[in-house]
């Protein structure tokens, strides 16, 4: 009997030829329009963002002088740098980048590669059927292998998955395997077990409480095939499904819709989306194998993505490949989640600090992440007390000058909203008019998020015991 290894190489060679043809087709469509190379867009956005920061420094001279006289020039410089100048630079760079976004369009291939979908499940008796039903509704033109990976659940997760396998209407191109691991080992371990069991060269991960929207698999594969050949992962777009349940979930809807989506879109434009999240992303199996799969840590998806970036590979973003997830409904759950995300970022720096000196456009975003710690520290212990002082009539850190940031914030939100709303309309979706949550997002979200993020950074740096908390 012939060894299966030549067939694996044959499949990978076929995938490379397919994506090469699709990328050329996408470039041909793009070249029919006026096109500015990505490095030129990066340089232009950087120049304009620096100009905005210089303008901000010039406008705030009186603020700096008064704060220096009240405290010390070094304190004033630190406060203004991390409260105003750097956040303003980042937001300006984001705006100017998105205004230039003209990525190659998705192109339908002659045939679609087979997929292995990994669903890691622990205590997901109530949600696993909805995740599997969303896969059953997909009309992906290629073969699908759905692997339900039960990570030692003690509830009825396996029984629920078996009922879904038997009761849902599955397309002929879908095969289902339920792998029941008796001992709970953690998400990274069970995903690596699923990676070893998968038979296809394209891997998709979907969280067990996440539901794919129709055609999401088709769109994320087309995005992957149309992107540059060194792309090894593509993140899907995650949106909030339970935004009407609580005000906390509603504010997160705007965060996912505005903040997270915009940042991923910007990063992918410069060939380095920093997190191909486990909730819904696509990867090349050989790339995952080459970096050793998912590491055993609380932020396994960010550490794994940075391992790919360290290899010099590209990670992208499919803004119209949508999946819906349930966001934490209460502040306690939210705080646990964001603390875990913050710890995951510090873990990524611990494993891949060499990325700070890697010569590529996305390196700037690695440095941005490094600056989040002092920015959140300054926000929590300097700016928040400054707001309290302003309410008492003392405008040392917050006051009339702070209002100058509102035009940029309004412009930033308007641009993001128009881009996202256009994507929604193309898919037959509409933005829900949750204005109370929008006001809460604009006025209070940073107050709720940044202190718990700081808590996460410090917890990881001092080596506190790691707990999953929530997804």
In a domain, 466, yes or no: no
- Which has the minimum average pLDDT: 29-43, 71-85, 196-210? 29-43
* 141 and 209 together in one domain: yes
Same domain, 226 and 326: yes
Answer yes or no: is 110 within a domain.
Answer: no
Let me know if residue 4 belongs to a domain: no
Is the same domain home to 148 and 218?
yes
- The rounded distance, in Å, linking the Cα atoms of 417 and 262 is 10
Give pTM, 2 decimals.
Answer: 0.90
Mapped onto helix, strand or coil, the DSSP state of residue 315 is strand
Q: Is the pLDDT of residue 438 over 90?
A: no
Q: Is 17 exposed, middle or buried (0-12, 13-18, 19+ CB in 10 A)?
A: exposed
**374 and 293, same structural domain?**
no
Q: Is the pLDDT of residue 242 over 50?
A: yes
Confidence of residue 6 (pLDDT cuts 50, 70, 90): very low
Check whether residue 413 and residue 326 sit in a common domain.
Answer: no
pLDDT above 70 covers a percentage of the chain that reads 89
Q: Please indicate, yes or no, if residue 456 is contained in any of the structural domains.
A: yes
Same domain, 121 and 186: yes
123 part of a folded domain: yes
Please give the backbone phi and psi of residue 178, each rounded to the nearest 5 degrees, phi first.
-105, 110
* Same domain as 160, residue 266: yes
Per-residue model confidence (pLDDT) at position 33? 59
pLDDT of residue 10: 47
Q: Is the predicted pLDDT of residue 109 greater than 70, yes or no?
A: yes
Q: Is residue 84 part of a domain?
A: no
Residue 21 domain-assigned (yes or no): no
470 pLDDT exceeds 50?
no
Give the total number of structural domains in the chain.
Answer: 2
Span of 2-6, 265-269, 272-276 with lowest mean pLDDT: 2-6
Residue 23 has pLDDT above 70, yes or no: no
pLDDT of residue 4: 38
The neighbour count for residue 439, using CB atoms within 10 Å, is 12
* pLDDT average, residue stretch 233-258: 93
Gap between the Cα atoms of 157 and 206, Å rounded: 16
Range of the domain at 244: 115-333
**Which H or E element spans position 15?**
helix 5-31
User: Minimum mean pLDDT among 245-254, 288-297, 321-330, 460-469: which range?
Assistant: 460-469
Is the predicted pLDDT of residue 154 greater than 60, yes or no?
yes
Same domain (yes/no): 322, 374: no
- Cβ neighbors of 119 (< 8 A, separation 6 or more) are 128, 131, 132, 146, 147, 148, 149, 205, 206, 207, 208
Q: What is the average pLDDT score of the chain?
A: 89
Spatial distance between the Cα atoms of 454 and 457, rounded to a whole number of angstroms: 5
Same domain, 211 and 141: yes
Evaluate whether residue 46 is within a structural domain. Answer: no
Note whether 128 and 160 are within 8 A (CB): yes
Answer whether residue 468 shows pLDDT above 60: no
Note the helical H segments in 168-260.
187-197, 216-226, 247-254
Same domain, 405 and 456: yes
CATH label of the domain that carries residue 170: 3.90.550.10
Residues 260 and 165 in one domain: yes
Q: Report the range of poorest mean pLDDT among 30-34, 48-52, 81-85, 158-162.
A: 30-34
Inter-axis angle of helices 435-461 and 363-378, nearest 10: 100
Q: pLDDT above 90 covers what percent of the chain? A: 71
Q: Which of 317, 333, 349 is the last residue of a domain?
A: 333
pLDDT per position as a tens digit, 340-397:
999 999 999 999 999 999 999 999 999 999 999 999 999 999 999 988 888 888 887 8
Q: Are both 204 and 292 inside the same structural domain?
A: yes
pLDDT tens figures, 74-95: 999 999 999 989 998 998 999 9
- Which range has the worst mean pLDDT, 232-241, 298-307, 395-404? 395-404
- pLDDT over 50 at 455, yes or no: yes
Kindly state the average pLDDT of the residues 265-284.
Answer: 96
pLDDT score at 1: 35
């Amino acid at each position: 009997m012939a060894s299966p290894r030549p067939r694996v190489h044959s499949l990978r060679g076929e995938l490379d030829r397919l994506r090469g043809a699709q990328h050329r087709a996408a470039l041909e469509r793009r070249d029919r329009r006026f096109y500015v190379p990505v490095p030129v867009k990066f340089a232009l956005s950087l120049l304009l963002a620096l100009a905005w920061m210089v303008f901000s420094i010039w406008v705030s001279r009186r603020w700096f002088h008064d704060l220096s006289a009240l405290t010390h020039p070094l304190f004033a410089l630190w406060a203004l740098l991390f409260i105003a100048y750097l956040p303003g630079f980042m937001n300006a760079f984001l705006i100017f980048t998105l205004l230039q976004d003209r990525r190659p369009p998705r192109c339908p291939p002659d045939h679609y590669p087979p997929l292995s979908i990994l669903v890691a499940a622990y205590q997901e008796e109530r949600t696993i059927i909805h995740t599997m039903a969303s896969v059953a509704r997909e009309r992906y033109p290629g073969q699908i292998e759905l692997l339900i990976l039960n990570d030692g659940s003690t509830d009825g997760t396996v029984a629920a998955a078996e009922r879904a396998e038997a009761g849902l209407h599955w397309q002929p191109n879908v095969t289902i395997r339920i792998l029941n691991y008796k001992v709970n080992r953690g998400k990274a371990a069970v995903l690596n077990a699923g990676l070893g069991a998968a038979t296809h060269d394209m891997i998709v991960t979907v969280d067990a409480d996440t539901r794919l929207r129709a055609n999401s698999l088709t769109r994320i594969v087309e995005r992957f095939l149309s992107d540059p050949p060194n792309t090894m992962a593509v993140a899907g777009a995650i949106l909030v499904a339970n935004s009407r349940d609580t005000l906390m979930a509603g504010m997160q809807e705007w965060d996912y819709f505005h903040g997270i989506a915009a940042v991923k879109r910007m990063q992918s434009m410069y060939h380095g989306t920093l997190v191909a999240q486990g909730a819904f992303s696509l990867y090349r199996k050989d790339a995952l194998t080459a970096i050793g799969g998912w590491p055993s840590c609380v932020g396994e998806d960010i550490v794994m993505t940075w391992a790919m970036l360290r290899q010099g590979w590209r990670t992208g973003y499919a803004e119209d490949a949508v999946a819906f997830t349930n966001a934490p409904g209460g502040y306690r759950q939210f705080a646990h989640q964001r603390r875990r995300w913050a710890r995951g970022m510090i873990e990524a720096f611990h494993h891949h600090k060499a990325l700070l000196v890697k010569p590529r456009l996305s390196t700037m975003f690695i440095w941005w992440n490094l600056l989040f710690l002092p920015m959140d520290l300054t926000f929590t212990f300097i700016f928040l007390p400054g707001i309290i002082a302003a309410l008492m009539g003392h405008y040392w850190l917050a006051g009339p000058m702070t209002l100058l940031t509102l035009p940029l914030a309004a412009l930033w939100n308007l641009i993001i909203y128009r881009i996202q709303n256009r994507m929604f309309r193309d898919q037959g979706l509409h933005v829900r008019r949750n204005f109370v949550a929008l006001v809460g997002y604009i006025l209070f979200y940073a107050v709720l998020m940044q202190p718990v993020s700081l808590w996460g950074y410090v917890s990881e740096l001092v080596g506190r015991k790691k707990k999953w908390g929530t997804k």
